[in-house]
């Protein structure tokens, strides 16, 4: 099963077009580069929901924290680099 996971945008790189806009997103203990084309209004310090390398929507920080708490309860944070 594939999950969409919340992460915090820590930097943004504008591409030659809106489709090439990317950002570095922190998920618990790791940082990944993510395509931000679907969330053109995302800014540094925003939380986004990411699925297979694409941010698909913004989410408020409280909701992101709840998701991380659920993942912790399920023992799924190890995949994200959390201990």
User: Is residue 19 included in any domain, yes or no?
Assistant: yes
Which residues have CB under 8 Å from 19's CB, separation 6+? 37
Dist. CA 44–CA 77, nearest whole Å:
23
Residue 73 buriedness (CB in 10 A; 0-12 / 13-18 / 19+): exposed
CB 80 within 8 A of CB 67: no
What pLDDT is attached to residue 73? 82
Tell me which of 38 and 5 has the higher pLDDT. 38
Question: What is residue 25's predicted lDDT score, i.e. its pLDDT?
Answer: 97
Residue 29's CATH number: 2.30.30.140
Task: Check: pTM over 0.85? Answer yes or no.
Answer: no
Are 22 and 12 in contact by the 8 Å Cβ rule? The answer is yes
Q: Which residue has the higher pLDDT, 74 or 23?
A: 23
Residue 83 lies in a domain: no
Domain of residue 28 covers 5-77
Domain count, the chain: 1
The reply to whether 70 falls in a domain is yes
Q: Residue 62's pLDDT band (boundaries 50, 70, 90)?
A: very high
Residue 82 lies in a domain: no
């Amino acid at each position: 099963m594939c999950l969409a996971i919340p992460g915090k945008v820590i930097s943004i790189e504008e591409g030659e077009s809106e489709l090439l806009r990317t950002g570095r997103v922190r998920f618990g203990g790791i940082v990944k580069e993510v395509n931000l084309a679907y969330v053109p209004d995302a800014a540094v310090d925003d939380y986004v929901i990411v699925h297979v390398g694409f941010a698909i929507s913004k989410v408020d920080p409280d909701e992101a924290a709840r998701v991380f708490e659920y993942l912790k309860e399920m023992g799924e944070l190890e995949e994200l680099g959390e201990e």
